[in-house]
């Protein structure tokens, strides 16, 4: 069963999912610390390149099925124009200022 974005527990993660789903690149960037990092399937990636390719230029969309770790770990059906839909896991590290300093994703 899908969890509505507005009902996600962690404010930073909730804003992340909302920005992805509304294709709000500026809003998305504002959620990340200046030195934010990310990994896909266990391999660190160039954040700007990955976000452009996998989310914004390919119309990424997240449907969250489950959350844990206080809302900082998600299982979601993620879809984009490149790969179609897949079951993915996401984990987030949120800095003291409330912005995301790292996220990791991969197939679940």
Concatenated DSSP letters for 21-32?
HTT-HHHHHHTE
Q: Does domain 5-107 have CATH number 3.10.450.50?
A: yes
CA 56 distance to own-chain centroid:
12
Pairing of strands 84-94, 100-107: antiparallel
Q: What is the pTM of this model?
A: 0.97
Mean pLDDT per 10-residue segment, the chain (108 residues): 95 98 98 98 97 97 98 98 97 98 97
Q: How confident is the model at residue 1, as a pLDDT?
A: 82
| Domains of the chain by residue range | 5-107
């Amino acid at each position: 069963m899908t969890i509505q974005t507005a009902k996600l527990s962690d404010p930073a993660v909730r804003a992340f999912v909302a920005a992805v789903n509304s294709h709000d690149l500026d809003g998305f960037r504002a959620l990340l610390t200046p030195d934010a990092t990310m990994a896909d399937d266990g391999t660190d990636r160039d954040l700007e390149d990955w976000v452009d390719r996998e989310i914004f230029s390919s119309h990424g969309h997240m449907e969250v099925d489950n959350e844990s770790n206080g809302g900082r770990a998600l299982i979601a059906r993620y879809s984009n124009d490149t790969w179609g839909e897949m079951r993915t896991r996401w984990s987030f590290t949120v800095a003291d200022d409330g912005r995301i300093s790292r996220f990791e994703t991969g197939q679940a």
